[in-house]
Amino acid sequence: MRTASIVLSLLVAAPLVAQAPAEATEADLPGTYRLASSTSDAQQRVDAAIEAGVASMGPLRRSVGRRRLRAKNPIRRELVIALNGDRVSVSYDGERFDVRRGVRETVRLSDGEAVRLRATVEGARLTLHWQGDDGERRDTFTRRPDGSLVFGVTVTSEQLPNPVRYRLVYRRS
């Protein structure tokens, strides 16, 4: 009786194991994604990361740093990723950047600042590495097997005592 119950348990569980989502790949990355949380929740997450980054600065530097970081890290409601041969294109709420894979190219931000940008793709992860005069930023876009996209940001600078790190989740639209 005990053996029959173990066999029955295995037979019932086997289809559940077989239906586990497949590992996401590069082909799963392209698409349009919308912020999964509310804008206010996302802003709280970014603000907390900024506070952690500037916490040990003096009051004046902390105020300036906080203002500059908040301006450079707006909440993006929509992300669009396209991969076409050796080209990688990412749009943040319509602000589009298009570069060749693995090649550092100069691009201009909406505020007019010129920065160097390099895109790499490894499996289901796209990384954009931005370099400007004041520091660096690394954006990672990681596709999960459930179809969601994790947008991770790390900002570093000689002016920052601690890196600013945050992650937001997006859903395919």
DSSP per-residue string spanning 22-49: PPP-GGG--EEEEESS-HHHHHHHHHHH
What is the identity of the amino acid at 147? G
pTM of the model: 0.86
| Span 135-170, pLDDT tens digits | 999 999 999 999 999 999 999 999 999 999 999 999
Structural domains in the chain, CATH included, are 21-172 (2.40.128.20)
| Span 24-59, pLDDT tens digits | 889 999 999 999 999 999 999 999 999 999 999 999
